[in-house]
């Protein structure tokens, strides 16, 4: 184990040392600069950026803790989107994990490995834009050299009085809801690739633009998740791997079957993309039939969820319109 | 942005989708397997592994939050150590950040990107061994494909009643202490490289074995950090980048100068390695002269810290035995 593509700065070059690079310092300099005047005041007693660890007030309710990893060439291709898009998405996908618990995101840290010379301030601008949208604080990070870009974000959140909504609480008879149409992200990626390959015009339709935006700039459904929790949602998950796979997770963890009647498909996307595409970051939740889901969402001005169908007793049943639900969703090889 | 080296499993292959790979699921399967019977009972109300986010009791005192990134070819070389060593080290360097705040580590999540076929269960065994040493819980993770190994660990801790010890509280007149001898890690890396290059015997002396161990299996100083906090330490940092650089950080953040009398050098290491090598993960802390540091450490059975010298009024002064402190420590190029 040893550092190869680092350089000693200063006078003790012969030490042949394995010192961790000054990752925090440099990342934090970039972060501080990109925060600029937007940083605002920390809550009383909090210390962000620049010490060995950030100091935070403890979570109200329960704490929620999650991590996501994005790797160049696997999760993103910088010829299809900007570093700013990537920063935005890296945080939103983490926020989505907190949203899927019915929680409120509060703090995040990011670990970045990047080629020398990459415009990391753009990455952080995207991270900051997403953080600002959710009122969460980027409180620390670490930076390393690497020959491909790697972004890891870890996020903290907290539950409200109703507690977290797990994947495992759905019961037979519960209705299954989805907070929005699906497949837009997969269809957007298809459009972006076609455009990059020169097989479609750069302009595209308004629908195309919306699809590309869904892929590059997903929006985690925090308010929706919290409202679902307040309405007594029994189980919830975000659609990161495609509806078939994610609803399947919820059903498996809950020990229920699924009898779905409909799949909400985004304009310009296919049902196949909605079922298998993933990265839509809408929320799927189960709730007792008496939960006033439509009224409550309408009252708050949030998009009214679509009722997909219901949870059933037969735990291995996975049906869409009376036929087997296609098994879909992306899984990578170990 | 799009997935390239992933493969669709299941029936909707045509979706061309950007779904995040089933990273959590597969990582968590490996983690659960590697946890095995060691998992133990979660604290009441906690949910680890397998939901969108882990659910944790809130921190007592303040919460501490940090992240570290280890990249193959930058921070480690798998020809010099095992994956188990790497797992151990990836967690210890994070724990060290919590220790340097006077905190207690409680939970960690890990993001891993790895080549297909890599024996990740060995990595997790190392992570678990380190976690068990500190009584902390690995509560989640994410896994991706990549062509070089990348390990990101984010850690949560909590302070005790005395609150966190920042880098910035040292005052002129404070004594500066170090919890152990330095340079062993850098010297160990030197030995491991010589051995790998065939220029030294595989066996080596007992001192060599100790040095290699210091590099491959560093041990974060949690108890020492907590005791220092209880003794009224005014500032603290861990020696990750070499004494000169890290003590320099502490002094800069505190606005004090340094007049050092001595540098504790590990047997088999050089003073240059102690000053510039880094990755020793001993703690350096400042404390008022009247703090009974030696007696208190001796009473608890911990190694008695070495008094390096003192903090002085002249904020730009950085001296060792009356001469300029060599500027040293590893910094990587952006």
pLDDT at B210: 95
The length of chain B, given as a count of residues: 334
Q: What tens digit of pLDDT does each residue of B276-315 get?
A: 988 999 999 999 999 999 999 999 999 999 999 999 999 9
Residues of B in contact with A27 (CB under 8 A): none
How far is B330 from chain A, CA to nearest CA, in Å? 5
pLDDT at B12: 25
Q: DSSP label at A169?
A: -
Q: Inspect the interface and report whether the beta carbons of B144 and A62 lie closer than 8 Å.
A: no
B332 vs A139, residue with greater confidence? A139
B292 vs B130: CA distance, rounded Å = 30
A246 vs B190: CA distance, rounded Å = 49
**A19 reaches B (C-beta below 8 A):** yes
Nearest to B242, CA basis, from A29, A20, A145, A49: A20
Residues of A in contact with B25 (CB under 8 A): 249, 331
pLDDT of residue B39 exceeding 50: no
pLDDT block averages, 10 residues each, chain A of length 334: 32 28 58 55 75 88 93 89 96 97 96 90 94 94 90 94 89 98 96 86 81 96 97 96 94 97 96 93 98 98 98 96 80 38
In this prediction, residue B21 has a pLDDT band, given cuts at 50, 70 and 90, of very low
Dihedral angle over CA of B4, B23, A312, A321, nearest 10? -10
A291 vs A231: CA distance, rounded Å = 6
pLDDT at A20: 36
Cβ-based contacts under 8 A for chains A and B: 517
Strand pairing class (B318-320; B257-260): parallel
B80: nearest CA partner in chain A: A1
Residues of A in contact with B47 (CB under 8 A): 164, 166
Nearest 5°: the CA angle A160, A217, A308 is 60
Average model confidence (pLDDT) across chain B: 86
A250: nearest CA partner in chain B: B51
Nearest 5°: the CA angle B215, B114, B221 is 30
Nearest to A238, CA basis, from A218, A257, A255, A254: A218
pLDDT at B280: 95
Q: Inspect the interface and report whether the beta carbons of B10 and A70 lie closer than 8 Å.
A: no
pLDDT at B273: 94
Nearest by CB to residue A65, choosing from B8, B86, B107, is B107
Nearest by CB to residue B53, choosing from A110, A157, A272, is A157
**B88 reaches A (C-beta below 8 A):** no
pLDDT at B305: 98
Q: What tens digit of pLDDT does each residue of B103-141 get?
A: 999 999 999 999 988 889 999 999 999 999 999 999 999
Q: Which of residues 140-199 of B touch A (CB under 8 A)?
A: 140-148, 150, 152, 154-159, 164, 166-168, 185-186, 189-190, 192-193
pLDDT at B35: 56
Distance separating the N- and C-terminal Cα atoms of chain A: 23
The string of DSSP codes covering A102-162 is T-EEEEEEEEEEE-TT--HHHHHHHHHHHHHHHT-EEEEEEEEE-SS-EEEEEEEEE--TT
Distances (CA, A) of A249 to A307, A329, B22, B138, B168: 18, 11, 11, 22, 47
Q: What tens digit of pLDDT does each residue of B165-219 get?
A: 999 999 999 999 999 999 999 999 999 999 998 876 656 789 999 999 999 999 9
pLDDT of residue B47 exceeding 60: yes
**B318 reaches A (C-beta below 8 A):** no
């Amino acid at each position: 184990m040893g550092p190869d593509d680092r350089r000693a700065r200063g006078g003790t070059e012969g030490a042949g040392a394995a010192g961790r690079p000054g990752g925090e310092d440099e990342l934090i300099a970039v972060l501080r600069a990109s925060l600029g005047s937007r940083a605002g005041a920390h809550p009383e007693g909090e210390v962000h950026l620049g010490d060995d660890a950030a100091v935070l007030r403890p979570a109200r309710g329960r704490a929620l803790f999650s991590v996501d990893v994005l790797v160049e060439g696997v999760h993103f291709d910088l010829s299809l989107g900007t570093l700013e898009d990537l920063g935005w998405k890296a945080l939103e996908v983490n926020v989505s994990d907190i949203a899927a618990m019915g929680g409120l995101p509060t703090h995040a840290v990011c670990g970045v490995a990047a080629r020398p010379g990459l415009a990391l301030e753009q990455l952080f601008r995207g991270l900051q834009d997403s953080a600002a949208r959710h009122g969460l604080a980027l409180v620390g990070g670490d930076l390393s050299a690497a020959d491909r870009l790697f972004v890891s974000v870890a996020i903290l959140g907290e539950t409200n009085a109703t507690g977290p909504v797990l994947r495992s609480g759905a019961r037979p008879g519960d209705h299954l809801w989805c907070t929005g149409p699906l497949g837009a992200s997969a269809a957007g990626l298809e459009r972006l690739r076609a455009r990059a390959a020169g097989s479609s015009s750069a302009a595209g339709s308004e629908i195309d633009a919306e699809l590309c935006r869904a892929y590059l700039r997903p929006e985690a459904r925090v308010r929706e998740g919290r409202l679902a929790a307040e309405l007594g949602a029994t189980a919830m998950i975000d659609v990161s791997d495609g509806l078939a796979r994610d609803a399947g997770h919820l059903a498996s963890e809950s020990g229920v079957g699924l009898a779905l009647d409909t799949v909400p498909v985004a304009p310009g996307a296919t049902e196949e993309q909605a079922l298998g595409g993933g990265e839509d970051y809408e929320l799927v939740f189960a709730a007792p039939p008496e939960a006033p889901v439509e009224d409550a969402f309408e009252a708050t001005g949030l998009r009214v969820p679509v009722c997909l169908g219901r949870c059933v007793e037969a735990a291995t049943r996975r049906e869409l319109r009376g036929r087997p639900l296609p098994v879909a969703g992306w899984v990578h090889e170990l």
